[in-house]
Amino acid sequence: MVSDQPLRPGRAQLDSPSSELDIAIAEIVSASRILAHEGIVDSFGHVSARHPHHPDRYLMPRTRAAELVTSEDILVFTLDDALVSATDARVFAERSIHGAIYRARPDVLAVCHHHAPTIMPFCTSDAELVPVFHLGATMGATVPLWDSQNEFGDTNLIVSTHAQGDSLARALGPNWTVLMRGHGATVAGRSIRELTFRAIYGARNADVQLKAAQLGTVRRLTAAEALSAADFNLTPFAMDRAWEQWTRHVQPEA
């Protein structure tokens, strides 16, 4: 069995050789490094996962660049974004994004917030981000835009309160990706691997759409095409093939 009593204050401790918690922690580390390698996150951005044994908690690294995250950095939070155990580690101010989505969406098991360069033009213009190729459809058939200005006026654009997180979660709704005006994107998934796939191919879709717009009218996928393509590409067969390659690049922890 796995204990949530930390070996070091705030850390997610393992007291058995193998468990769902082991796997979740290892995959958060891998996803963080993969997304850094793929240019989705850099010094900023973060990945979390719902606790596999306690759905009212989630796992998230301490404040650190994603490329450098290790299993020792993983902390346990309640869905109200409070640490389960005290720690002297610095924690992300924007954990409010993660807790709010887990509260609003019981089906979501992993969340990533990022500022991928290809996404940013869609966060700073009136252009709608739409699925334009089959793998890109995994970002979701609809990608809403959340504007913090509408509810909170002039802020530093950081989502650091429950009210802001809840507002963002409402904007996400039943979708899988939400853009944040002047800030970036937040992506949800039903697993860490699915989240990683959605985040990477959502950013690639944005890149393809930007380039297609330079050539002429962008031909988007129909809603039915987007749903069908997403269903096909989010099967374990496809996701595991990509995960195997991505993890080879980053040499994750065993």
Give the tens place of pLDDT for each residue, 77-113. 999 999 999 999 999 999 999 999 999 999 999 999 9
Identify how many contiguous H helices and E strands the chain contains and give both numbers. Answer: 8, 7
Q: What pLDDT does 50 receive?
A: 98
Please determine, for residue 171, whether its predicted confidence score (pLDDT) is greater than 60. Answer: yes
Percent of the chain with pLDDT over 70: 92
Confidence at 251, pLDDT banded by 50, 70, 90: confident
Q: Residue 17 pLDDT more than 80? A: no
Residue 18 banded pLDDT, cuts 50, 70, 90: low
What pTM was computed for the model? 0.92
SS3 121: helix
pLDDT of residue 11: 52
- Cα–Cα distances in angstroms (integers) from residue 178 to residues 82, 159, 181, 188, 227, in the given order: 24, 13, 10, 9, 17
In this structure, is residue 86 part of a structural domain? yes
Query: Is residue 217 classed exposed, middle or buried when 0-12, 13-18 and 19+ CB atoms within 10 A define those classes?
Result: exposed
> Which CATH number characterizes residue 59's domain?
3.40.225.10
Mean pLDDT of 193-221: 98
Residue 180 DSSP SS3: strand
Residue 160 included in any domain: yes
> What burial letters (b/e) apply to 159-187, b meaning 16+ CB within 10 Å?
bbeeebbbbbbebbeebbbbbbbebbbbb
Mean pLDDT of the 175-192 span: 99
Q: What is the DSSP letter of 139?
A: G
Residues annotated as catalytic are: 94
Domain assignment present for 219: yes
Contact 185, 114 (CB under 8 A): yes
At residue 3, the pLDDT reads: 36
Chain-wide mean pLDDT for the chain?
A: 93
pLDDT confidence band for 150 (50 / 70 / 90) = very high
Query: Structural domain tally of the chain?
Result: 1
Residue 208 has a pLDDT of 99
**Is position 184 within any domain?**
yes
Q: Is residue 254 part of a domain?
A: no
- Count of residues for the chain? 254
Q: Is 61 among the domain residues?
A: yes
Give the domain extent around 94: 20-246
pLDDT for res 206:
99
Q: What percent of the chain has pLDDT over 90?
A: 91
pLDDT of residue 41: 98
Whether the pLDDT of residue 146 is over 60: the answer is: yes
Q: Mean pLDDT across the stretch 123-148?
A: 98
